[in-house]
Structure formats: structure tokens, C-alpha cells
Amino acid sequence: MKIFNEALVEQAAQACHIANLSAATIGEILLIAQYLERETGIPFIRMDQGSPGLPVNRYGVEAEKAALDRGVGSQYPAAAGIPELKREASRFVKAFLNIDISERSCVPTVGSVAGSFGSFIACTQRTPGKNKVLFIDPGFPIQKSQLRVIGAEWVEFDIYLHRGAALESKLESMLQQGDIAAIIYSNPNNPAWICLEEEELATIGKLATKHDVIVMEDLAYFCMDFRHDMGHPFEPPFSPTVARYTDNYILMLSASKIFSYAGQRMALTCISDKLFDRHFPALAERYHDAGVFGQTLIASILYMITSGCTASTQYAYAEMLRLSTEGTINFVEDTREYALRAEKMKKIFTGNGFHIVYDYDVTQAVGDGFFFTIGYGNMSSGELLRELLYYGVSSISLSTTGSEQQGVRACTSRMRDDLYPIMEERMRAFHEDHPILQ
């Protein structure tokens, strides 16, 4: 039996000015869930927004308070970042990726959203004729919205049918046109939680060098492939990265998920030293500067977006990175709770007729973590999203992420122990009301 009837959900959609519920964005689904909870008092199983669901890292809070007490709030921070954060960022990258990036090439940004926005601008303007971004989907819808803002074009493909050796021919066919400026993907992936394996990263790196394309690697869920123990600094296994296979890369490292520091909007854009120092005449002409990629990105682009990052939060991030590199904090273990939640949630769904959509990497089953994807019979993405709302479960449609598969994304971050029995009851009712024909 449904928790919310069709008329009430439609009323919520109209009240929230949502024209097409089946294609609703994350923000729109959030509004629907909040409206229905408020009007009825019935709790939702919130699988929509990927907001951290763990306590904020206390070391960061203490460091930020101490910085404010020292009076750092009275001065503008340098656009390139405070020296302490740049130093600890370089050490952190070495400790957990085993990659050498100098301090000068580690640049703080107001979340990875600002980092990708600025990087899109620099990448698509650096070389005449190279003005498109290639998305290895499924991916983060906001990044395409950023390209709409700056008027840049993009192309995309769903990696579902192009894993392993098949990735090379697909990428080559798209890059050989010569108009791709950058490639972007997340690893682990939002929304599918697939992880690109070394063979695939090597392919991406090789072709990025061949076609002079910059790879933007979004590491928002850094080291959160819990199938491998990557939480020990300067010890293998190190987190996979394209940086081992090309010098054309930008890594984005956010404090939001690994330290649950989302409210302070802090991330790092770590640029290959060789790319940082490359000179592009088109950038020099446009910005009337030296046209050096890293300096143009910092002084002529990022500074125009945010005028630097909050000084006290930079000190917080620096301290969390320092303690991680020294082994005092094990941020991987701190976030393993998401994998435990995913395992329980998947069991409930698959026990009631659902299936995991993105279920396999090249050589192993997809792990448990912050996100997973589910489908149900032959329901389309939009149909499943809408039907789940009737049973008090909010999610987002895979169609909004560039996926060609049918299903929805589930986020584990808001799950609580008291909600598992409720989820089990509702999904049992869903399964009874939606028999799957064999």
C-alpha cells in the first residue's frame, strides 16, 4: 500500500513549481520530500541529496576556531592559498596517491564546484578550436550546468558498455575530432560508485597526452573504495589516479565527504606541475597576462569567481590533511560507515525485487559506499523515481546523470538505524504492489 497517494504527490509538485516530476533535479526532489514530510508528519527515506551524514571532523573545527582567535579573519587571504594548506596538500597527495605535485600547484577552491567551474573556463579557452568537454558518464549534473553558464559545449557517453579494453576505441573515436579540451569523470563515481581500474586510467592518460586533452579527475570520495585499505599514508595500496599516466591532469580534492566538512565549502585543485607551467598564447591574449596556465587559473579566473577562499577554513583543511598524513586521522575508517549502510540498504532492495544497475567493475563487483544504483523490472528511470515517492523514498533519476540505463541513484548518507525496518516494510509493500513478470 502506498504511503502518499498520487494526488498528494502531484499537489507537492505543483506547490514546489516542478513541471516534470519524472525528470526532477536533486534540488527539486529535496523540495518534494520536505513538503510531504511537513504536510503529513510521515518521515521519508531520504536517498536524494549527497550531503555528508557523519559528524564534522573535530580537528578541523578546533583549528578553524584557533585561526579565528588569532585574527586571520581581518585580512584577505591570498588567491593562491595560505602556505600551510599548500604545503600539507602536497604532502597529502604524496602520502595517499604517491604522486609528486609541488606546493605552488595545489590551489584551494570554494568546494570542488568552484574548482571545476574555473578549470572548465581555463581548459576550454586555452587552445583555439578545443572548446568542448567530454563527460565519461554517469556523472554530476551540476558540472554540465556550469558549462551552460560559460557557454561551452560538451559531449558525453555512458561508460556502462565501454569498460576495460573497450574504453580505448570509444575514447579514440571521440577525441580524434580534435575539438575536445578536457575529459571529466569522478572516481569513485557519483552516482554509480563504479571505480575506474588501472587499465582504464592508463588508457585515458595515454589518449589525453596523444590528443593534448586535460583530464579533470573529481576525487570527492577520495580513497572511499572500501574494497581496498587505502587509509595508511605512504603505504600501498595507493588510490588509483590518471596522474600516473599523463602530465595533463587536474585533481579535485574536497573536504566535504572525507572530513564531513561540507558546510565550510573547501577543496583543492591540484594541477600537474608541467601543466601549471605551460604557456598558452590564447590565454595571454584574452587575459592580458603571461598566459601561464596555473597563474591564469588562479589570478585571472578563480579570483574573479570567489576572491580567494575563507582563511580560517584553509587552516582547518590544512590541519586535517596534516593529521591524515601523519596517521593521527584515518579518514578512510571514519567514512567506512557509508559502506555498512549501503550493504544493508542493498540487501533490502534486492530482497524485494530490485536489482543493482551498475553492478560490476572490470574485474570485480562494485563495492559498497556513498552511492549505489537500483532498477526495478522494466520501469524507466522517471517511472521508478515517481513510484518510489509514493512509498516515501526519495532518489534521483539516472537519466539526469547522463546514464542511458534505467534506474535511480540511492545515497546512503542520511540513513539511520531506526529507518531500516521502515524501509523494509515500504519496499515489501512496493514489491507486492508491483509484481515482476518472469
Mean of pLDDT values over 352-366: 96
- How far apart, in whole angstroms, are the C-alpha atoms of residue 176 and residue 197? 23
- How far apart, in whole angstroms, are the C-alpha atoms of residue 50 and residue 47? 8
- How far apart, in whole angstroms, are the C-alpha atoms of residue 281 and residue 292? 9
Mean of pLDDT values over 396-424: 96
Percent over 70 (pLDDT), the chain: 100
At residue 15, does pLDDT exceed 60? yes
- How far apart, in whole angstroms, are the C-alpha atoms of residue 20 and residue 100? 47
pLDDT of residue 281: 98
- How far apart, in whole angstroms, are the C-alpha atoms of residue 14 and residue 371? 29
At residue 1, does pLDDT exceed 90? no
Cell 557509508 maps to which residue? 338
* Other CB atoms within 10 Å distance of the CB of residue 234: 12
Top pLDDT among 179 and 4 is at 179
At residue 438, does pLDDT exceed 60? no
Cell 558498455 maps to which residue? 161
CA atoms within 13 A on the CB side of 278: 19
Mean of pLDDT values over 26-41: 89
pLDDT of residue 26: 84
CA angle 317, 319, 321 (to 5 degrees): 70
Confidence of residue 350 (pLDDT cuts 50, 70, 90): very high
The type of residue at 175 is L
Sign of the Cα torsion 282, 108, 337, 238 reads: positive
Under 8 Å between Cβ of 23 and 399: yes
At residue 32, does pLDDT exceed 80? yes
* Other CB atoms within 10 Å distance of the CB of residue 358: 25
Confidence of residue 8 (pLDDT cuts 50, 70, 90): confident
Mean of pLDDT values over 22-39: 87
Of 359, 39, 354, the C-alpha closest to 194 is: 359
pLDDT of residue 361: 96
Lowest mean pLDDT among 4-13, 292-301, 412-421: 4-13
The DSSP secondary-structure symbol of 297 reads I
- Considering the entire predicted model, what is its pTM? 0.95
CA atoms within 13 A on the CB side of 299: 13
Confidence of residue 6 (pLDDT cuts 50, 70, 90): confident
pLDDT tens string 67-90: 999 999 999 999 999 999 999 999
At residue 437, does pLDDT exceed 70? no
pLDDT of residue 4: 87
Mean of pLDDT values over 340-358: 98
- How far apart, in whole angstroms, are the C-alpha atoms of residue 402 and residue 108? 28
At residue 158, does pLDDT exceed 90? yes
pLDDT tens string 234-287: 999 999 999 999 999 999 999 999 999 999 999 999 999 999 999 999 999 999
Mean of pLDDT values over 370-387: 96
Within 8 A by CB and 6+ apart from 310, the residues are 77, 110, 264, 265, 266
224's grid cell:
572511499
Average pLDDT taken over every residue of the chain: 96
Of 262, 250, 370, 239, the C-alpha closest to 316 is: 262
Under 8 Å between Cβ of 85 and 317: yes
Percent over 90 (pLDDT), the chain: 89
Under 8 Å between Cβ of 188 and 140: no
- How far apart, in whole angstroms, are the C-alpha atoms of residue 241 and residue 238? 9
Helix (H) or strand (E) holding 185: strand 180-186
Give residue limits of the domains in the chain. Answer: 6-54+335-433, 58-326
pLDDT of residue 414: 93
- How far apart, in whole angstroms, are the C-alpha atoms of residue 318 and residue 74? 19
Of 196, 223, 219, the C-alpha closest to 362 is: 196
Confidence of residue 216 (pLDDT cuts 50, 70, 90): very high
Pick the CATH number of 58-326 from 3.30.70.20, 1.20.1250.20, 3.40.640.10, 3.30.420.40: 3.40.640.10
pLDDT of residue 80: 97
Domain over 6-54+335-433 is classified CATH 3.30.360.10 = no
Under 8 Å between Cβ of 358 and 366: yes
350's grid cell:
534486492
Whole-number Cα distances in Å, 82 to 256, 309, 325: 19, 9, 18
pLDDT of residue 49: 84
Of 398, 413, 368, 416, the C-alpha closest to 51 is: 413
pLDDT of residue 10: 87
Pairing label, strands 106-109, 132-137: unpaired
